[in-house]
Every structure is written in C-alpha cells, then in structure tokens.
Chains A and B, each alone.
Chain A
Amino acid sequence: MNAIVEARGLARDYSMGSGAVHALRGVSFDVQPGEFVAIVGPSGCGKSTLLNLLGAVDTADAGSLTIAGERIDRLSDRDATAFRLRRIGFVFQRFYLMPALSAAENVELPMAEARIARDERRARVQELLGYVGLAARSGHRPSQLSGGEQQRVAIARALANRPALLLADEPTGELDAATGLEMIDLFRRLNADGTTIVVVTHDAQMAAAAGRRIQMRDGAIVHGDDA
C-alpha cells in the first residue's frame, strides 16, 4: 500500500538576525493510510514547522514531500491552496473558527469554497456536526460554545471535504483535562473510522493514544523514523 505521507530529507531554515535557524535538518519518514501518528518533542524542536510543510502552508528548503501521491514541495501558491482545500484537514490549538459565523456555517465554509452544491453541503454539515456530537448546537456562534465544543466544530470543519490527511497542532492545548480526554476519544474514533491523522502534541495522553510516535529534537527525528 502506498504511504499517505512520504517525507525525504526535509530541511527548513529561518533567517533570524545575522544567522539562520535550522528548524528542520533532513527529516524523513512515512505515514501509512489509516495511521494515527503523534509528533512529540520539546518546544522549538521543529514539530510545528514539520506540520506546516505537511499541510502545504510552508515549503521546504530541501528534500521532497509527497502527500496522497502528489509532490507538494514545489507546488505553486494556487495549486497548494487547492491541495489544502481538498486533501488536508487542519485543526489548530486555538480552534480559529470564524467568530461571525455559526458552527454550521464554519463547517460549511471549506465546502462552499470547493463549490459543493448547497444541498449536499447542508447534509454534510449535519452529518459532521452529528458525528462530533454538536447537532443541536449548529446555529450557535463560537462565542456561545465552550472550548471543547469549538474544537469539535473545528474538527468537523477539517473533515468537511473528506481530506486524505488530518493534521492537528496541539489540539488539546487550550482545553482542560476532562475536555482534553474527550478530544482524545474523538481522535481515536476518527482514526478507527479510517481517518489518517498526524498530530503535534505536548500532551502525553494524546501521544499515548496515537499508534506511533515520532520523537523530534533540534530539527531532526530521534525516534520513530521508519522511512
């Protein structure tokens, strides 16, 4: 079976003041379809940089990256945007829902951008909000929802266009312990239902829930590299 993620020798430098920061130094790994992978490591080790490359919101200075069979390391901005819309689902630490839109509208947003027919969008919104347990809260604005509920809406939004890969950056970082556990259960359920997940986390319980852990330090994988 082809890997969903094939990363080979990924490097990313940032210029800072007079010198350069080597955020990633030749990272290589694979993620197989249906895997739940946690990327762990201390702050500043390059986890979020790696996630940004996987999500095509940033480009590597060196190396190659193939996601769902498509080379994304040299995509134009337009192609990268289209790729993110249809192949990637993003979940952020701070949820980042559109405050002026309702939960349903937030979930509908990527589908509207993908020009999916209105009826189909509405049906999918109900399905997704039902899946994350928020069917009754579809008309609520983010400010009327708890942190856990907002993160569930964000997950529903990430799944809207049936992505090949779900990326999550510290999804329990803003949640209390009990809500964090609920979120971990939701990620487990998503994975059990076939979603390929890569999560960057400091949360030991979230990392434990993943099927595989990739340990990073100083921009390199120190454990869990199977490429």
Chain B
Amino acid sequence: MPIRLAMLALFRHPARTLLALLGIAVSAALLLDMVMLASGMRENFRGFLMLRGYQLRVAPKGTLPFDSDATIDSAATLVAAISRLQGVTAVSPVLGAQVQATTAGDSTVTAFTLGIYPDVQGDYEMVRGDDVTDSTSVVANERWLAVTKHALGDTVTLAVGFDPQLRTVTGERRFVVRGVARFHYIAATQPTLGMLLPVLQQLGGSERRDRASLIMVKAADDADAEAVRTRIAGISTRISAISLEGATEAVEQRLGYFKQLALVLGSISLGVGVLLVTTLITIGVNERAGEIAVLRAIGVAKGSIVGQVVMEGIVLTGVGALSGIGIGLVTAQWLEKILSDFPGLPTTFRFFVFQPRDAGVALAMLAAAGMLAGIYPAWRAASLPIAGTLRREAVA
C-alpha cells in the first residue's frame, strides 16, 4: 500500500512530475556521460593499443612510444634478441621520421612517415590499393593525398633533412604510391606515409641507420605478458619495456584532467538531481501534511510513511534515470564529435565508450541519490505533530 500511495502521490500533479522527471533525466544523462568519459578513455585506450594484438611496447629508456625523437640503436640485433625470447610470437620494429614530399604544385609538404615491415606491422590497415612490397613503394593516408594533390599510382619524390632556410634536402628518392591506408595511432589530420623500415633508415642517412623508434611485441596467448616484459627489459639497459597496463596507467596520468573534469561535472549533476528530487518531494509532503497526519492518526507507522516518501524519491529518480540513459547516449555521440576534432588525436580513439557497467554505475548512484533525496522530506513527514497538523488543517 505505501508503494501504491507513493505512485499515486507522484502522479497527482502530472505536469510537475513530468518536468521533474525531465530535469532528473538531464542530470542522469550528464552523469552517464561523465562516467563513460571517466572510464571509457581507459577501456578505449586498452582496446586501442590491442588493435593488432601487440601487448608490449619497447621504447628508448625513460620514454613512451613516440613521446620524443629518441630512437633505439642497433635495432636489428635487439629485434632478433627479442624474437628469440620464450613466449614471443611476433616483433614489429617501427621508425618514425619527418619526410618531405613535393606536391603536384611543386611546393613541399612534410609528412610523418613510419618505417615498418608489412607482414608484422600493427600501425595501419589498408583502405585501398596495395601494401608496400618493395623499396620503391609507399602507402599514404587520405590526408597526405589531399594536401599533396597526388593520387594512387603517382610517382613522388620524398626526402629527409629539409632545411627551411635554404629550402634544401639531404636525401631524395622516388617512390610510387601503391595504396591508401588508415593509420591507427596517428591523427587523421596528419599527412602520413608508410614504407619499408630499411628504406626509411637509409633515407635518414647515418642518423637513422639501424634505428627504431618503437618495437611492438606480441606475446603468445598462453604466455604471461608481464614475464615476457621482464625478459625484454633484461636484454638491454637502453630500453623501456611497457606492458598494456603500464601504458594505460601512463596515459591515464596524462588524461587525469579529463577524469577530474568528469568527476566534478558528474558530482554536480548528481547534486542537482538530489536537490531537484528533494525539493519536489518536500513540496509534495507539505501539500499532503493533513493526509500524512491522518495516516498517522489511524495507526500507520512512521516507518511506513518514511518508506512511502523515500519510495517517491527512488521512483522519480529511477524513471528519470532510465530516460536519461537515452539522452546520455545521444549527447555522448555529440560530445564525441566535438572532442574528436581536437588536433592530434588518432582516428580510432574514442572518448566515450558505452559499457553496461557504466550505465549500471550511473543508475546505482542515482538510485542512492534518490534515496538520499527522500530522507529529508521523509523525516519531515514522519515528524509531523499529528494533533497540531490536524488542528491546522481543520482551521485551514
């Protein structure tokens, strides 16, 4: 009966209740978005690193992959040593370098270029055309084709060591654009190329001979990735072996700002939701003071009154929160679009990742908030002096 009375009390003023539900739904949507943002980045980053199944990254000592221009020397020896380790199934060395290309209009465009081995690379996927096969072929992303005004099949001149003062380059070679690729870890706005690792090392001259910026390592499914990481770290003191957890932690530290922002906004939305529900239910309790006094007079226990009022808060918050999930998912898409336009973000990176667990966390927090919101009005309702309230009602 208290539950039924709670429902009926809520729908006594349908317009008011509907407006409150809308307010709670908006709060719930914001809360869900913030929970998705806070935990989504971490989850997304893990998936992002695992796109091609490489659990481990080897970078120059004290750096994160492509964190600086630092490179690993004697890369071939190191790759061979890592390949021999127990539990390692694939090793993919990568070198990054700035490469200049002459556009169709004879100007120069700087492209970030990855030197890879196509059979083990984990940095891109082909969109069309062919992968790099020999020392004269490259793959490019759409952005590079757009800014250089070249097309698939064009022969282009690439060089490194560009001197902007003299407008000269130190090495120059001709390549054929064999394919178009989407680079996972590089912003879509960044013109990018891919070519064979030895070719890029050669193009870079002595400065890049036998060097790699990063070595990606795949551990066997049945191998302990952490044990493999320890073994790799033991090969050389010049390298850092980073596990998925380590990389995620490092990125999390860097993205702590987003988490803090999410926490603050989420807390605010929760607070607003609590105040909204408390206000609405308190108004309802004040309006029904006479009824509540009568219920107490005929023997309805304080606990039943408290249960009824708290139930109003939970129902109001629950229904509002469920509606808020839909709104939250729509706004998350919209916010994702805004954030993904941030310069320098990889194309595959997502800020908002929906996980049923997130919705569950948001719903649980709101249910607790609804209960909290009902406590003050419930206490007021249960504390009403019966005789005094009935006397006031009779006079009114």
Contacts and interface: CB of A to CB of B under 8 A. Distances in A.
Contacts of B295: 98, 109
A82 B302 CA distance: 11
Nearest to B301: A81
B302 A92 contact: no
Interface stretch (B109-117, B126-134, B384-392): B384-392
A108 B4 CA distance: 13
Contacts of B304: 113
Interface in B1-37: 1, 4-5, 8-9, 12
Contacts of A55: 297
A100 B5 contact: yes
B387 A113 contact: no
Contacts of A93: 394
B302 A109 contact: no
B1 A109 contact: yes
A52 B387 contact: yes
Interface residues of A, number: 34
A114 B386 CA distance: 19
Interface in B280-300: 290-291, 294-300
A49 B391 CA distance: 10
A77 B294 CA distance: 15
Nearest to B304: A113
A98 B394 contact: no
Interface stretch (A2-10, A83-91, A176-184): A83-91
A57 B304 CA distance: 17
Given A55-B297, A94-B393, A113-B1, A81 B12 contact: no
A112 B295 CA distance: 12
Interface string A107-148: 011101110000000000000000000000000000000000
Contacts of A96: 290-291, 294, 393
Contact of A92 (B4, B12, B300, B390): B390
A126 B12 CA distance: 27
A109 B298 CA distance: 9
Contacts of A108: 1
A58 interface: yes
Given A48-B391, A57-B386, A113 B300 contact: yes
Contact of A90 (B8, B290, B297, B301): B297
Given A93-B394, A94-B393, A96-B291, A114 B299 contact: yes
Contacts of B290: 96
A81 B299 contact: yes
| Size class of the contact patch on chain B | 20 to 34
Given A48-B391, A58-B387, A113-B1, A98 B291 contact: yes
A62 interface: no
A77 B299 CA distance: 11
Contact of A100 (B9, B297, B386): B9
Contact of B294 (A48, A92, A100): A92
Contacts of B294: 90, 92, 96
A100 B302 contact: no
Interface string A72-86: 000001100111111
B101 to A, nearest CB: 76
A79 to B, nearest CB: 11
B12 A113 contact: no
Interface in B346-396: 386-387, 390-391, 393-394
A186 interface: no
A57 to B, nearest CB: 4
Contacts of A85: 298-301
The interface centre, meaning the residue of B1, B4, B9 with most chain A CB atoms within 10 A of its CB, is: B1
B297 A84 contact: yes
A113 B301 CA distance: 8
Interface string B78-97: 00000000000000000000
Interface in B25-57: none
Contacts of A161: 299
20 contacts: A48-B391, A57-B297, A57-B386, A81-B301, A82-B301, A84-B298, A84-B299, A86-B299, A90-B298, A93-B394, A94-B394, A96-B393, A98-B295, A99-B291, A105-B1, A110-B300, A112-B1, A113-B1, A113-B299, A161-B299
Q: Which 3 pairs from chain A and chain B are nearest by CB?
A: A85-B299, A100-B8, A96-B294
Given A96-B291, A96-B393, A161-B299, 19 more contacts: A52-B387, A78-B302, A82-B301, A84-B297, A88-B299, A90-B294, A90-B298, A92-B294, A92-B390, A96-B290, A96-B294, A99-B291, A100-B8, A105-B1, A109-B295, A110-B299, A110-B300, A112-B1, A113-B304
